[in-house]
């Protein structure tokens, strides 16, 4: 999700680790100028707690880039809790998706398991087709390749799974039209 320049009034559905998130909460029953404080709790792969700042009657929650930077990608549970003296109430909760920090990702780090395995299968196929051998031994270490037909099935399965993920989990629709053969 790309950030909008308009002010947010709630935690967004998703944001990237390493980015700043600022939103303003107006809570009629728990006004900041009446002494209420709001704290956001994120719990998931990592944890983050952020106290809101008073801005008149509103609470402004700021998650700095430095605070979100260490968050691991994944789905987090969150809750907003207001407190005043000995009182504490959860006023909102939900889930938020923290996307990976593309600015700090290393080569291959964000590849799916299927993409990594596809590269291995294709390398094995290339080796097999280049040498024509299904096994070999060097200095007492043996390597045996799967039969080409099995490797091709695995490759096709991985390609299908990768393409499905790229389409958001949807199956590809192929329409066929069958026409009857004319009899003479």
Per residue in 103-119, pLDDT tens? 887 787 777 888 888 88
pLDDT for position 64: 96
Say yes or no to pLDDT of 127 above 60. yes
Say yes or no to pLDDT of 158 above 70. yes
| pTM score | 0.65
CB 125 within 8 A of CB 155: yes
pLDDT for position 128: 76
Confidence of residue 138 (pLDDT cuts 50, 70, 90): low
CB 13 within 8 A of CB 1: yes
Confidence of residue 126 (pLDDT cuts 50, 70, 90): confident
To the nearest whole number, what is the mean pLDDT of the chain?
86
Rama region for 74: left / alpha / beta (φ>0; ψ in -120 to 50; rest): left
Report the run of H or E that residue 56 belongs to, with start and end: none
Per residue in 72-104, pLDDT tens? 999 999 999 999 999 999 999 999 999 998 888
CB 23 within 8 A of CB 9: yes
Residue 148 in tokens: 């080409």
Say yes or no to pLDDT of 177 above 80. no
Distance CA 135, CA 146 (A): 9
Distance CA 47, CA 71 (A): 7
Say yes or no to pLDDT of 48 above 90. yes
């Amino acid at each position: 999700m790309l950030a909008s320049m308009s002010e947010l009034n709630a935690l967004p559905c998703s944001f990237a680790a390493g980015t700043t998130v600022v939103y303003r909460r107006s809570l009629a029953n728990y006004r900041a100028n009446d002494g209420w404080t709001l704290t956001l709790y994120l719990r998931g792969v990592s944890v983050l707690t952020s106290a809101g700042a008073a801005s008149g009657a509103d609470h402004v929650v700021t998650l700095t880039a430095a605070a979100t930077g260490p968050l691991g990608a994944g789905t987090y549970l969150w809750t907003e809790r207001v407190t005043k003296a000995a009182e504490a109430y959860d006023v909102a909760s939900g889930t938020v998706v923290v996307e990976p920090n593309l600015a700090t990702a290393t080569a291959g780090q964000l590849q799916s398991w299927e993409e990594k395995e596809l590269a291995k299968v294709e390398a094995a196929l290339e080796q097999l087709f280049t040498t024509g051998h299904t096994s070999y031994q060097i200095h007492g270490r043996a390597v045996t390749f799967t039969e080409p037909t099995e490797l091709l099935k695995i490759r096709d399965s991985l390609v299908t799974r990768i393409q499905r993920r790229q389409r958001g989990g949807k199956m590809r629709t192929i329409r066929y039209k069958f026409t009857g053969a004319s009899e003479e």
